[in-house]
Structure 1
Amino acid sequence: MRLLPIRQQTSPAIGAIVNSQPLAYLLQYKELNFERGYIMNQTTRTSTWKRSLLLVVAMLLVVSALAACGKKNAKDSDKESASNSSNSTVIATYKGGEVTEEEFTKYTTFYSLFDQSFAMYLQIPEAKEQYLKEYVGYKTLYDRSSEDDKKSADTEVATFIKQYNEQLTSNAEMKKTVDAAGLTEKDVSGFYKQIVTIRKYWERNVSDADIKAEYEKNKGGYNLVSVRHILISTVDPSTGEEKRKDEEALKIAKEVKAKLDKGGDWKALANQYSDDEGSKGNGGLYENASPNSWVAEFKEAAITQPVGTVGEPVKSQYGYHVMKVEKRESKKFEELSEDVKTQVKTGAINTKMGDFMTKELPTLIEKINLPKAETPAAGTGTDAGAGTGATDSTEKKDEATTK
């Protein structure tokens, strides 16, 4: 266990291509896919940690998510790569363009190749709508990118397409999925080009002042920490199913803490009690690790808990953690390694991307018109027009006020 959110596993048929270097972007995003709290909380105020995670995920989307091109334009070959059929139903309109159902299907098919959880989320209407809105955001950002950004992406795109075609040739399951959606090599090339291009766009649009401000705001997350923990889990991390009741896990965690407070040996107790297979063999130790890679509750404890003491059990989505912070760095920005400075820059980009998605994007979207999901017939004659109706869930405010 890496103290990261539980996620669905990638389809074995395309495992090799997912492990390729260009797809590191996709992997990074998918590692946090199950923590996309804002998808399911569009009408409520998200908690502080979910808001912070949204910003992290937003950056991962920059480097991992797809962004199809705009309408076909004979003078812009990039925009031709993501299909936009004039015969397909328009499901989203925004300032600068539109998205058709056919185009969105290709977008979601490409994404689903790399993580089965994406396809699962598409079965949830609210999540599907959120993905569509994000897609509009990526299209907008791609259009704002410079020609230099687009041209400089070509080398990475070529490498990716070579690996993609190798897998497509050898994996019948993958080819069947791709063919069923009508996803062409040109579509795939266009989608991936936008992954790289948007990343370059944001790298150009973050200043040194932005980076230093990000560090000052979140020093604890960027300074390395060494921490021991013993996990008493409430869920099976591979399936998400309940392993033991919450009260039972807490009782055991308190017993473990009591033994440690009396001088108990971390290595022996971790080996006996911990459900974290990744650390139980070395006394529960995570050494010189970045708190930003951990789930929110564990991260908060690692940053704030007094050094050298065994804290009260910390509850996370996994269960209860009995923790001891062994050491914690506190460096000035100028003292950071180049690797950590790169992480801070990513955090600054998170903020800009998050602001765009939550503040500007809603003002650009004019209408969302996704077909309603099919529902079982209830015999009442009122089952929401299964498969034939549409949800006009997002329209311009001035239109709404006139109806």
Structure 2
Amino acid sequence: MRSSKSWKVLFVSLTAALSFSMLAGCSSNNKNGDEDNSKAIATYKGGAVTQKEFDTDVKVMKFLSPEQAQYLELDGFKETVLKQEVAFEYLAGQASDKAEEEAKKQADKQLDTYKQGLGDTYASSLKEQGITEDQIHSYMVRVLTVYQDMLLKVTDNEVKKQFEATKGDFTVATLRHVLVGFTDANKKERSKEDALKRAKEVQAKLKGGADFAAVAKEYSDDPGSKDSGGLYADKTLGTYVEEFKKAAQTLPLNTISDPVETTYGYHIMKVESRTEKTFDKLTDEEKETLKSTLASNKLQEFMEKDLGGIIEKIDLPKSSASPAASAGASPNASAPAAPPSAK
């Protein structure tokens, strides 16, 4: 059951960058040459965010992440974004030239990917939202400049310490599992009680000597492994959701687990092999992932501990939230960057 990565993971796609920026906000300094006589709605040490800047950022965020658009009508969420926008504007002003240079390269690539994804609808979508490509690019550069600056400040010693603290995530394992989902193969909801009952039935069959692959093909609701008999071969455990990962890290080899509950349902697992990895065996990508986590942690620490002392005044006009936004679930502060590739 693969984990959906959060914004704390290295930007390897546009989606990840957008998820990160949606959570962390960013500034939108007036770099397009238009005169801005709008009111300052946030002031901080060394600068201010105007109503026009904020409105432009909101439009860009809605364009890039339309599934979050309803939340940007909520006053509480808008104020959070504005405060974090202050942080990005402040930090971008302190970032190195090297960080900005790399950010521009990344923004170019990501914008190109996004344009290709929208195809012929790209221009009309921009017009509909009332923004320009330059505004989107500026937005991306600002977010990524801060992120790249944080990356450059991560030391090799910090990376090694982070590995030691999380080395179980880098363990490679081959395992099989049967998922009894809270939603069945026909997209019909299944109660927890019914799911647990079915999972225990699977467990009993496997403990009784039934072939795991055959049981998985009959019972599993995981499309990512059902046809392969529930098999996930040589996967890094850090890619799985937390409960599944912990079970995979601790379950004795070649034994049938008790039902393991995750947000997807109940899993019956069997770990066939498990190999711990040392720091010197990490791939460059894995080391970059560690650096990314540390960089994001540094940013999160700044948001939590330092931001309040930098903001001088917030004067954001109130607005009425739309019924749809108010009725929906509140935005998740650790929203995943992309849907899991498999359950």
Question: Under a length normalisation based on structure 2, what TM-score does the superposition of the two structures give?
Answer: 0.79
* 2:177 paired with 1:224: no
* 2:265 paired with 1:306: no
2:15 aligned partner = 27
1:2-401 equivalences in 2 (<5 Å): 2-4=2-4, 24-28=12-16, 60-61=20-21, 67-70=26-29, 72=30, 80-81=31-32, 85-87=36-38, 89-160=39-110, 170-171=120-121, 174-235=122-183, 243-374=189-320
Kindly state the Cα deviation for residue 237 of structure 1 after the two structures are TM-superposed: 10
Determine the C-alpha separation between the residues in 2 that align with 1:314 and 1:26.
33
Decide which moves more: 346-355 or 202-211. Answer: 346-355
Determine the C-alpha separation between the residues in 2 that align with 1:310 and 1:84.
67
Kindly state the Cα deviation for residue 279 of structure 1 after the two structures are TM-superposed: 0.9
Contact 2:259 2:267 in 1 (8 A): yes
Kindly state the Cα deviation for residue 280 of structure 1 after the two structures are TM-superposed: 0.6
Note closer, same or farther for the CA distance 1:264–1:165 as it changes in structure 2 (3 Å cut).
Answer: closer
Contact 1:94 1:365 in 2 (8 A): yes
Note closer, same or farther for the CA distance 1:113–1:285 as it changes in structure 2 (3 Å cut).
Answer: farther
Determine the C-alpha separation between the residues in 2 that align with 1:267 and 1:194.
49
Matched to 1:260, the amino acid is L
Contact 1:307 1:325 in 2 (8 A): yes
Determine the C-alpha separation between the residues in 2 that align with 1:376 and 1:199.
33
Kindly state the Cα deviation for residue 350 of structure 1 after the two structures are TM-superposed: 2.9
Determine the C-alpha separation between the residues in 2 that align with 1:354 and 1:313.
35
SS in 2 for 1:113: helix
Contact 1:69 1:82 in 2 (8 A): no
Matched to 1:4, the amino acid is S
Kindly state the Cα deviation for residue 141 of structure 1 after the two structures are TM-superposed: 2.2
Note closer, same or farther for the CA distance 1:299–1:176 as it changes in structure 2 (3 Å cut).
Answer: same
SS in 2 for 1:277: coil
Determine the C-alpha separation between the residues in 2 that align with 1:133 and 1:237.
43
Kindly state the Cα deviation for residue 135 of structure 1 after the two structures are TM-superposed: 2.5
Aligned length: 319
Matched to 1:339, the amino acid is E
Kindly state the Cα deviation for residue 375 of structure 1 after the two structures are TM-superposed: 5.9
Matched to 1:86, the amino acid is N
Note closer, same or farther for the CA distance 1:161–1:346 as it changes in structure 2 (3 Å cut).
Answer: closer
Structure 2: runs of 5 or more not aligned: 324-343
Note closer, same or farther for the CA distance 1:99–1:208 as it changes in structure 2 (3 Å cut).
Answer: same
SS in 2 for 1:311: coil
SS in 1 for 2:312: strand
Determine the C-alpha separation between the residues in 1 that align with 2:305 and 2:278.
32
Kindly state the Cα deviation for residue 267 of structure 1 after the two structures are TM-superposed: 1.2
Determine the C-alpha separation between the residues in 2 that align with 1:3 and 1:135.
28
Determine the C-alpha separation between the residues in 2 that align with 1:247 and 1:372.
45
Structure 1: runs of 5 or more not aligned: 7-22, 34-59, 73-79, 378-403
Kindly state the Cα deviation for residue 169 of structure 1 after the two structures are TM-superposed: 7.5
Contact 2:14 2:110 in 1 (8 A): no
SS in 1 for 2:306: helix
Deviations 1:288-345 (A, max 9, x none): 2233322222222222333322222111111112122222221221232333222222
Matched to 1:327, the amino acid is S
Matched to 1:328, the amino acid is R
Kindly state the Cα deviation for residue 65 of structure 1 after the two structures are TM-superposed: 6.5
Contact 2:162 2:290 in 1 (8 A): yes
Kindly state the Cα deviation for residue 160 of structure 1 after the two structures are TM-superposed: 4.8
Determine the C-alpha separation between the residues in 2 that align with 1:312 and 1:324.
10
Determine the C-alpha separation between the residues in 1 that align with 2:115 and 2:202.
52
RMSD: 3.4
Contact 2:248 2:271 in 1 (8 A): yes
Question: Under a length normalisation based on structure 1, what TM-score does the superposition of the two structures give?
Answer: 0.68
SS in 1 for 2:252: coil
Larger relative contact order (CA 8 Å, sep ≥ 6): 2
Note closer, same or farther for the CA distance 1:125–1:318 as it changes in structure 2 (3 Å cut).
Answer: farther
Kindly state the Cα deviation for residue 220 of structure 1 after the two structures are TM-superposed: 0.9
Kindly state the Cα deviation for residue 242 of structure 1 after the two structures are TM-superposed: 6.9
Contact 1:224 1:289 in 2 (8 A): yes
Determine the C-alpha separation between the residues in 1 that align with 2:184 and 2:48.
42
Matched to 1:28, the amino acid is A
